[in-house]
Structure 1
Amino acid sequence: MDTQSLQAFLAVANNGSFSLAGEQLYLTQPAVSKRIATLEDQIGARLFDRIGRRVSLTEAGQVLLPRAREILVMVDDSRQALANLAGDVRGSLTMATSHHIGLHRLPPILKAYTQAHPEVHMDLRFLDSEQAYQGVLSGDLEMAVVTLAPAPDPRLTVVPVWIDRLRFVCGKEHPLARQDRVALSTLSEHDAVLPGHLTFTRSIVLDTFAQDGLHVNVGLSTNYLETLKMMVTIGLGWSVLPETLIDDEVHILSIEHRPIERPLGYLVHKNRTLSNAARSMLSLLDDAATPKARAL
């Protein structure tokens, strides 16, 4: 099996389309089909069913998929280990970050990095933290800088860099804004606008209420914190926002509860050979870590 055929196989599997796979790989659709046909000949089994415009994995394709990812990661690791011997910081760095961290935490680090290592080509992807976790686990990403999961996958090395304090907020004309002190039970009586389902931040908030036997009425949700802030300012509900996003457009609620905090940091796969480019980025992040984050 050659790596080019495996790359084509993964691209079609991930995109569910030969044409989209071609765009991803900068190949024509016939070239992608030829690579898939070569791979099918080598393993003696059909990998995709083509019914109308729909492309789906066969049973053989489903068996090959995780193994193909492992093979390509292993090949990439071998190349990386050999390239690292030179000690140069060059090549590419594929990393992901969330929109909030990318806008409010990473800029000075990215500026310092690009100035120190101009020969590194950075492929920076803005993803939800949960998607970034999966990208590092699958090998698609070399590293990610995101909101850290309450229970990280044991296959990952997870390092806190910052601690985000989340503050309860509402619009200035919201009924809650007229109260000096607000109990969590009172918040339960009003609609909330929170990050989407299965996000780490939403889990942290819901768990806080659940510990007191309380339920949160979520009226609207979005994964973009800047959009949540807008929803709060126009009175659609209360929410929680990092202190870095809070200004005079929102009202900070005085809550009878300990502060809610979420750790932000980086993650890499324990079994992956990191490039010198990635190691240099991790070094900058370690230097930027706050004392509170280091203590976790």
Structure 2
Amino acid sequence: MDTQSLQAFLAVADCQSFSRAADKLHLTQPAISKRIAVLEEQVGVRLFDRINRRIALTEAGHLLRPRARHILLAVDDSRRALANLSGKVGGRLSMATSHHIGLHRLPPLLRRYTQRHPEVQLGLEFLDSEQAYQGVLDGRLEIAVVTLSPEPHERLDVVPIWVDRMCFVCAADHPLHRAASLTLGELCQHASVLPGPLTFTRTLLRRRFESEGLRLTASMSTNYLETLKMMCRVGLGWSMLPESMISQDLVELDVATPPLYRPLGYLVHHDRTLSNAARCMIEALEQACDLGADYRATFTDQDITP
């Protein structure tokens, strides 16, 4: 059972298509089909049903899928461990970040990193923080630099690096601007544009409202903070944005609630052997940290008040 056949099997299973799997692995479709045929011959069972051009895993395919992923992760882990012995910093670093952090936090750090380690092939993906978490859990990503989850995860090492003070904001000509002070209940009576319901940022905000017995609903939502800023700026509703994103055409609202903070940082799988490239990236992130030692030592899954 060779690793190339397992890679082809997982690609077809993930893409549910031989042609898309071929594109993903930069191979021809006949080459993918041949590798699947070889694997099916080796294991002695059919792994895919092919019905009306649709691809579906058989029961055997479902059984093999997590085991194949585990085998490939173990092989990659062994390769990294052996490569680390040389002390060289090179190879591919699979890394993800959120759009907001990629735009506002990482550029100077990435510039210094690539200058210091030109042999590293940086495979940088822009993903929602929640998707990046899953990528690290699955082993597809070696490191993610994202908004940190309000909930801890036993299989991940999560380290805060920065913190965003989140602000309630509205357009300069919005009716809420005229209010001297507001309650969370009063905000609920007005249209809002907020991060998507499954995002970590929305979870922090929802918990704040729930702590006062309020149900938070959004008139519109998107996972991109720059888009939220635009929607808020043109008067579609109030929103919550990092303090660093407030511009002259937005106004911070005085809301009677304690400050709300969200942690940003990196995460890695604690069972994974990190490459030298990943270790150097972590070192660069640690050097960029603007949090005090006391903050990091007391980091919890609750709302954060430094």
Q: Please give the range of the TM-score, normalised by the shorter of the 2 chains.
A: over 0.9
Give the C-alpha shift of residue 152 in structure 1.
2.4
Ranges in structure 1 where 5+ consecutive residues have no aligned partner: none
Q: Which moved more, 1:90-99 or 1:249-258?
A: 249-258
Contact residue 169 and residue 241 of structure 2 kept, 8 A: yes
TM-score (norm. length: structure 2)? 0.95
Alignment match, 1:164: 164
Is the aligned partner of 1:216 residue 2:216? yes
Q: Deviations over 1:249-285 (max 9, x none)?
A: 2111011111111110000001101000000000011
Is the aligned partner of 1:279 residue 2:279? yes
For residues 1-296 of structure 1, what are the structure 2 equivalents within 5 Å?
1-292=1-292, 293-295=295-297, 296=299
C-alpha distance in 1 between matches for 2:150 and 2:218 = 21
SS at match of 1:157: strand
Q: Deviations over 1:88-122 (max 9, x none)?
A: 10111000000000000011110110010011000
AA aligned opposite 2:66 = P
SS at match of 2:86: coil
SS at match of 2:220: strand
Q: Please report the RMSD computed on the Cα atoms of aligned residues, expressed in angstroms.
A: 1.0
C-alpha distance in 2 between matches for 1:286 and 1:50 = 50
C-alpha distance in 1 between matches for 2:50 and 2:260 = 50
Give the C-alpha shift of residue 197 in structure 1.
2.2
Q: Which moved more, 1:238-247 or 1:79-88?
A: 238-247
SS at match of 1:169: strand
C-alpha distance in 1 between matches for 2:171 and 2:131 = 31
C-alpha distance in 1 between matches for 2:55 and 2:27 = 18
AA aligned opposite 1:194 = L
Q: Deviations over 1:39-95 (max 9, x none)?
A: 111111111122223212111111111111111010000000000000010111000
AA aligned opposite 1:18 = F
Q: Which moved more, 1:199-208 or 1:46-55?
A: 46-55
Q: Deviations over 1:99-146 (max 9, x none)?
A: 000000011110110010011000000000000000000000001000
Q: Deviations over 1:148-183 (max 9, x none)?
A: 001122100000000111100011221111111111
C-alpha distance in 1 between matches for 2:40 and 2:20 = 20
Give the C-alpha shift of residue 199 in structure 1.
0.7
Give the C-alpha shift of residue 196 in structure 1.
1.1
C-alpha distance in 2 between matches for 1:167 and 1:38 = 57
Identity percentage over the alignment? 62
SS at match of 1:291: coil
Q: Which moved more, 1:286-295 or 1:15-24?
A: 286-295
SS at match of 1:93: strand
SS at match of 2:60: helix
SS at match of 1:96: strand
C-alpha distance in 2 between matches for 1:174 and 1:59 = 57
C-alpha distance in 1 between matches for 2:26 and 2:56 = 22
Q: Deviations over 1:213-234 (max 9, x none)?
A: 0111311110000000011011
